[in-house]
Amino acid sequence: MTIRTAIVGYGNLGRSVEENIRNQPDMELVGIFSRRAELDTDTPVYPVADIDSYRDSVDVLFLCLGSATDIPEQATAFAASFSTVDTYDNHKKIPAHYEAMDEAAADNGNVAIVSTGWDPGLFSLNRTIASSIFPTSQQNTFWGKGVSQGHSDALRRIDGVKKAVQYTIPREDAIEAARGGHGADVTGHGAHLRQCWVVADESEHDRIREEIVTMPDYFVGYEVEVHFISQEDFARDHQGLPHGGHVITSGTLGGTTNAVEFSLALESNPDFTAAVQVAYGRAAYRLKDAGLTGAFSVLEVPPYLLAPESLEELLTRDV
Ligand code: NDP
């Protein structure tokens, strides 16, 4: 059995999904659907406007579109024609997205697995599992070390900044406090360091540093480090998209303090997000094959459906 997959949207995530599918024993990639006519890939590329004519040749469609506007505007139309897996990450709007995808998928006999990836995704699963274990719990999520696109954009908007990237780094003392059951004292501002790497002319450094540390919302209230570096060092050391973090949950049980921690250290955010999305693609296929339809969050998908191995093999290997 080979699962016939396709990708819609070819940015960082789309490229990583394409690469990931090449390594799957039970999947093939039928093509990539894009709004652009030409993409730099060997995979067949089709106009997204024609996607409905591929309904019968694709089992699972990976939605690799932006969360800001693409997914809210387009995802339900894809779910009406295909079983889909997305990584929609606007946390506050996930319940509404789930509801809209549920209706579109169920009405057409499809499955839509929503908001996979790592946060939302694997972090969400861990938040639910860990907090279910304790009668009362304290839960903290720390992000990083990772590139914050929003903060990097804010740096690049400052006059005189030629190149810039901002890493969000969780503070070790805050992580230790959460591990020790004192996470309630950890605040968002105190929990993360904002580290900026900037390319600019030397005569501008003092002014730019001042503009960064006094920028409201983005940097005021945080511990901020500003490092000025050369174009060459920037090109060598700051091209990647690392990310990751920790979900730490602690609780008291019969007078003892116990903690559960789930951590990720990702050298490439899109490569890892894609890997999770593709594993959920296998689950989408199997759920539909079992006669189920509608939307599923990561909380509702049994973990064995993600694995290429059989349940029997997993019972021996992992349980
Ligand atoms: P990109 O900005 O790289 O791509 C988004 C879309 O923009 C693509 O689908 C593509 O559509 C279009 N696009 C990409 N490059 C170009 C270009 N050069 N010119 C014109 N259009 C372009 O976003 P990412 O792939 O990095 O991320 C996608 C989403 O994944 C994010 O919005 C984020 O919400 C989500 N995400 C979720 C995570 C999770 O843990 N749940 C983690 C990380 C990301 P088209 O091919 O049609 O032009």
Instruction: State pLDDT tens for residues 54-97.
Output: 999 999 999 999 999 999 999 999 999 999 999 999 999 999 99
> Which tens digits make up the pLDDT trace of 219-265?
999 999 999 999 999 999 999 999 999 999 999 999 999 999 999 99
User: How would residue 1 be classed by pLDDT, with cut points 50, 70 and 90?
Assistant: confident
Burial class of residue 301 (count of CB atoms within 10 Å of its CB; 0-12, 13-18, 19+): buried
Helix (H) or strand (E) holding 27: strand 27-34
pLDDT of residue 188: 74
**From the CA of 3, how far away is ligand 1's center (Å)?**
24
Give the ligand 1 atom nearest the CA of 276: 40
Q: Rounded CA gap, 152 and 144, in Å?
A: 14
Q: What is the ipTM of this complex?
A: 0.99
Average pLDDT for 42-46:
98
Phi, psi of 21 (to 5 degrees): -65, -30
pLDDT of residue 311: 98
Pocket perturbation via mutation, ligand 1, pick of 18, 34, 65 by most ligand atoms within 8 A of CB: 65
**From the CA of 274, how far away is ligand 1's center (Å)?**
11
pLDDT of residue 47: 98
Give percent of the chain above pLDDT 70: 100
> Which tens digits make up the pLDDT trace of 121-173?
999 999 999 999 999 999 999 999 999 988 999 999 999 999 999 999 999 99
Give the ligand 1 atom nearest the CA of 71: 32
- Interacting residues of 18 by C-beta distance below 8 A, sequence separation 6+: 7, 10, 29, 32, 41, 43
Q: Rounded CA gap, 121 and 87, in Å?
A: 8
pLDDT of residue 90: 92
**From the CA of 253, how far away is ligand 1's center (Å)?**
43
On the CB side of 196, CA atoms within 13 Å amount to 30
Classify 69 as helix, strand or coil: coil
> Which tens digits make up the pLDDT trace of 6-24?
999 999 999 999 999 999 9
**From the CA of 194, how far away is ligand 1's center (Å)?**
24
pLDDT of residue 190: 84
pLDDT of residue 187: 83
Judge if the beta carbon of residue 45 lies within 6 A of ligand 1. Answer: no
Q: Rounded CA gap, 99 and 15, in Å?
A: 28
CA distances from 211 to 73, 230, 308 (A): 36, 20, 51
**From the CA of 206, how far away is ligand 1's center (Å)?**
35
**From the CA of 270, how far away is ligand 1's center (Å)?**
9
Specify the DSSP class assigned to residue 319.
Answer: -
Q: What is the pTM of this model?
A: 0.95
Q: Rounded CA gap, 231 and 162, in Å?
A: 9
Give the ligand 1 atom nearest the CA of 70: 6
Which pair of tokens denotes residue 61? 């469609």
pLDDT of residue 109: 98
Helix and strand numbers, DSSP H then E, in the chain: 11, 14
Judge if the beta carbon of residue 119 lies within 6 A of ligand 1. Answer: yes
pLDDT of residue 189: 82
**From the CA of 150, how far away is ligand 1's center (Å)?**
14
Q: Rounded CA gap, 179 and 153, in Å?
A: 33
Give the ligand 1 atom nearest the CA of 122: 40
Classify 36 as helix, strand or coil: coil
Judge if the beta carbon of residue 250 lies within 6 A of ligand 1. Answer: no
> Which tens digits make up the pLDDT trace of 178-233?
999 999 989 878 899 999 999 999 999 999 999 999 999 899 999 999 999 999 99
Give the ligand 1 atom nearest the CA of 15: 25
The residue nearest atom 34 of ligand 1, judged by CA position, is 67
Place of tokens 């901002």: 166
